[in-house]
Amino acid sequence: MQIAIVGAGIGGLAVATLLRRIGHDTTVFDQFDAPAPVGSGLVIQPVGQDVLHALGVLPDALAKGAPMSRMLGHEATSGRKVLDVHYIRRTDHVPGLAIHRATLFDLLLKAANNAGVALMPSHRVQAAQNGTLTFEGGRTRKGFDLIIDASGASSVLSPLTSRALPYGAIWGTVPWPDTTALPKNELRQTYLRASNMVGVMPAGQLPGQSKQCATIFWSLPADSGPQWRAEGVAKWHAQVADLWPDAMPFFEQITATDQMTMARYSHGTLRHVWQDRLVFIGDAAHRASPQLGQGANMALLDAWALARALAHCDNDLSQALPRYAKARRWHKRIYQSLSAAFTPQYQSDSRFLPFLRDRILFPASQIPPIPRIMTTLVRGHLAPPIRGLPEQGD
């Protein structure tokens, strides 16, 4: 088939490569002059690492990323633990993979190029209908058997109406400082109620570099980015030092506000992820906060499920697209629901929810078998990620 993919992000490059390898002609259209990543560090959970393995990039990703064995959070004033989730609870468990988005993007772009995927930059898509793409300026490309919208939360094709979340975060990347205060294999966070959250996460190596780096983040109300920039970094550094002195070797490397990027979040799930010759994956199909660290993994799983559905149904779209939707339905619903439930406990103006989190939910989460369930949750295996679709060759 002739297949168009809109968006050269993680999901778009992954699905283009997987489909090209099973014989389809895949063309990726991206609005930027050259394909490039947007964002900072992320976590590829074990469920997402399975997709990287299928793409053939997992060994390089493991070499460039950083293993993450634990998520640990503390309350700022008391120092009390209020989040503690381990990735490894059995000998056959693997850690999470903390990796910078730019590094993962480079690996996926190389895989796409090696597979023979056609990349078309400077193509801003405006519409898709009956196998035809319309671009800014009125240009069109016709004759596609399938169009895949992988253009993310800013998609102009997706009918998804999402709910804006009240809190976002500023993100940045810094070299890992010469400090032993924080381990290089854990995501660490400190909270003051739910209105303040500061975090440090390993992010492996940037492309072309050998030094380990870290992603740092600071929670903010979604509309307060301009105010934060106007106040400057000195006031911000004082706030970080007051909440979490051990994190200052990371944050003091930020000397100008333009070193940090504001991210805003929304929540929503597209009820029908396919139409006639048009299908949605990743944030074009579902959006949530990054609290459970599943965003990039969801896009990778969508890509893998769609490729497997097409192969399993002999490229019959009338069968393959419903099978794709069904294969991802329950995993997506469960994680979307849990993300919606957890996020206000860590990013909101509520005073009751942090009390509930710290005094009731966290102590309860340490009682067996809940720690094992939490491990399964963050690893992405709380439900079958791709239900009812065998891998190619099975």
Tell me the pLDDT of the chain averaged across its residues. Answer: 95
Instruction: Please determine, for residue 393, whether its predicted confidence score (pLDDT) is greater than 60.
Output: no
pLDDT above 90 as % of the chain? 93
Local confidence band at 342 (pLDDT 50, 70, 90 cut-offs):
very high
Q: What is the pTM (predicted TM-score) of this model?
A: 0.96
pLDDT for the residue numbered 94: 92
Query: What integer pLDDT is reported at residue 89 of this predicted model?
Result: 86
Confidence of residue 392 (pLDDT cuts 50, 70, 90): low
pLDDT of residue 359: 94
* Three-class HEC string of the chain: CEEEEECCCHHHHHHHHHHHHCCCEEEEECCCCCCCCCCCEEEECHHHHHHHHHHCCHHHHHHHCEEECEEEEEECCCCCEEEEEECCCCCCCCCEEEEEHHHHHHHHHHHHHHHCCEEECCCCEEEEECCEEEECCCCEECCCCEEEECCHHHCCCCCCCCEECCEEEEEEEEECCCCCCCCCCEEEEEEECCCEEEEEEEEEECCCCCCEEEEEEEEEECCCHHHHHHHCHHHHHHHHHHHCHHHHHHHCCCCCHHHCEEECCEEEECCCCEECCEEECHHHCEECCHHHCCHHHHHHHHHHHHHHHHHHCCCCHHHHHHHHHHHHHHHHHHHHHHHHHHHHHHCCCCCHHHHHHHHHHHHHHCCCCHHHHHHHHHHCCCCCCCCCCCCCCC
pLDDT for res 39: 77
Q: What is the pLDDT of residues 371-384, one digit of tens each?
A: 999 999 999 999 99
Q: Which residue has the higher pLDDT, 91 or 353?
A: 353
Range of weakest confidence among 179-183, 188-192, 198-202: 179-183
* pLDDT digits 0-9 by tens, 134-151: 999 999 999 999 999 999
Confidence of residue 36 (pLDDT cuts 50, 70, 90): confident
Span 199-203, average pLDDT: 97
pLDDT at 319 over 80: yes
Residue 37 has pLDDT above 80, yes or no: no
In the numeric block, the tokens 């003091």 are attached to: 252
